[in-house]
Structure 1
Amino acid sequence: MRVERLNQDKIRIFLTFDDLMERGIEKDDMWRDIPKVHELFNDMMNQAQDEVGFTVNGPVAVEVFSLPAQGMVVIVTRGKTEVHDDMDDMDYDDIYEMQVTLEESEDIVYVFQDFEHLIALAHRVNAKLIDGGSAYAYNGRYYLVFEEIDLPRDEYNDFIALLSEYGEASTLTKHVLQEYGKVIVDGDAVKVFCRYFS
């Protein structure tokens, strides 16, 4: 679990599927109101307090984004609340008032430190007859986004393993990259990189 502070009232938490499995939570459980998910949320809030000083004692908006290869991204936004004198006596488990938004994305987003890694990956992916993808530059790093890859489970896992050899799963979404990043190749990035870079 990785916690990142976005601003005074907002944090982003990245959960891998291993984080979920350690707690006995399946991906589909995140969409249900069960005690394990509440316990996970409390763990996330405790870690956020320890690591970035983010405390919650009132209403919060929680956005959960499921990313197929990466895990889950949870955005927690703290709402404004009145401060009560007896706040120290309260049990914090009882004072979360959550508004939850859930989204599932089929997009696969990987980040690369070096443009050469992106090119090398494109050649390996192209050899497996997988094409498509869009490439972006953002904050000095390179991103490759694949939308809805339709492969049998074994080939899909091999594809993810191949991506992981050259880059790492990103918590950024396609929409963030489209809005704030610079488009290098919009669609068919694998073919374009293979055609122009040997």
Structure 2
Amino acid sequence: MRIERVNDTTLKFYLTYADIEARGFQRDELWTNRKAGEAFFWSMMEEINEEEEFFVEGPLWIQVHAFDKGIEFVVTKSKHDDVLHLPEEESAENLEYHVSEFLSKSVQDEKAIRDLLMKAAAVNDIDNEFIAHFKSLEDVIQFSYADHVHVDIEDLLYMYEGKYYYYVHFDERLSDEAVHTYVAHILEYANETRISSEQLEEYGKVVMSHNVKHQVRKYFKQ
């Protein structure tokens, strides 16, 4: 999970679907099961409070952006009562219901739009490296022939347990936008994975290195 504190009243947090499943929830539950959606949202708020001390003491504005690889939440606490009026007798249970209903509708609407327009550009926490998994050699070849603006990277193609893994280390001077754009390009042909670079280095076999795209094009013709 990636957490970004925007200011005193607003924060963002992004989870991949793997993050969600690791916390005991299924991705479909978030917008089809009210109780599961409520339980997930409030469990995440408790987890965030341990790191950011973002305590909820009133009405919330919640934006939900569903991407192909995960979900981003933007949560804002109201500074003044006139931002969002709730009846004084509004119970915590009803507040949870409003949050759940908003979460459900927002995720469904946003996901429908995103699925039509683009593959996800939102990615898991990216430091200076990224690892993706190709389903087949054909996907590796298609990726290697796809046009894309050159970026300064060091990359390796591993074979591990009969599958292809693409490891990328980005030049530290690259902007976040350039990194995320290239990762989005990778995800047009591959899927992100939870496997670590240490695991690949120890157990995997390097099959291509030093400009993997060029190496693949050298040996495989479309």
TM superposition score category, shorter chain reference? 0.5 to 0.7
Larger C-alpha radius of gyration, 1 or 2? 2
Instruction: Name the counterpart of 1:160.
Output: 191
What secondary structure is seen at the aligned counterpart in 2 of 1:58?
A: coil
Using the size of structure 2 for normalisation, the TM-score is 0.49
Distance in 1 between residues matched to 2:122 and 2:18, nearest whole Å: 18
Once the 2 structures are TM-superposed, how far is the Cα of residue 18 of structure 1 from its aligned partner?
A: 2.9
Unpaired runs of at least 5, structure 2: 82-89, 132-136, 152-173, 198-212
Aligned partner of 2:120 among 107, 113, 120: 107
What secondary structure is seen at the aligned counterpart in 2 of 1:41?
A: helix
Using the size of structure 1 for normalisation, the TM-score is 0.54
Q: Does 1:35 align with 2:35?
A: yes
Aligned partner of 2:142 among 129, 140, 148: 129
Q: Closer, same or farther in 2 for the Cα pair 1:81/1:3, shift >3 Å?
A: same
Distance in 2 between residues matched to 1:49 and 1:93, nearest whole Å: 20
What secondary structure is seen at the aligned counterpart in 2 of 1:39?
A: helix
8 A Cα contact 2:61 2:76, kept in partner: yes
Instruction: Name the counterpart of 1:138.
Output: 175
**Count of residues in correspondence between the two structures:** 149
Unpaired runs of at least 5, structure 1: 83-89, 119-123, 150-155, 167-192
Once the 2 structures are TM-superposed, how far is the Cα of residue 37 of structure 1 from its aligned partner?
A: 0.9
8 A Cα contact 1:60 1:77, kept in partner: yes
Instruction: Name the counterpart of 1:169.
Output: none
Instruction: Name the counterpart of 2:7.
Output: 7
Instruction: Name the counterpart of 1:57.
Output: 57
| RMSD of aligned alpha carbons | 4.3
Distance in 1 between residues matched to 2:32 and 2:149, nearest whole Å: 33
User: What is the percent sequence identity of the aligned residues?
Assistant: 19
Distance in 1 between residues matched to 2:72 and 2:8, nearest whole Å: 18
Letter in 1 for 2:128: Q
8 A Cα contact 1:3 1:51, kept in partner: no
8 A Cα contact 2:30 2:40, kept in partner: no
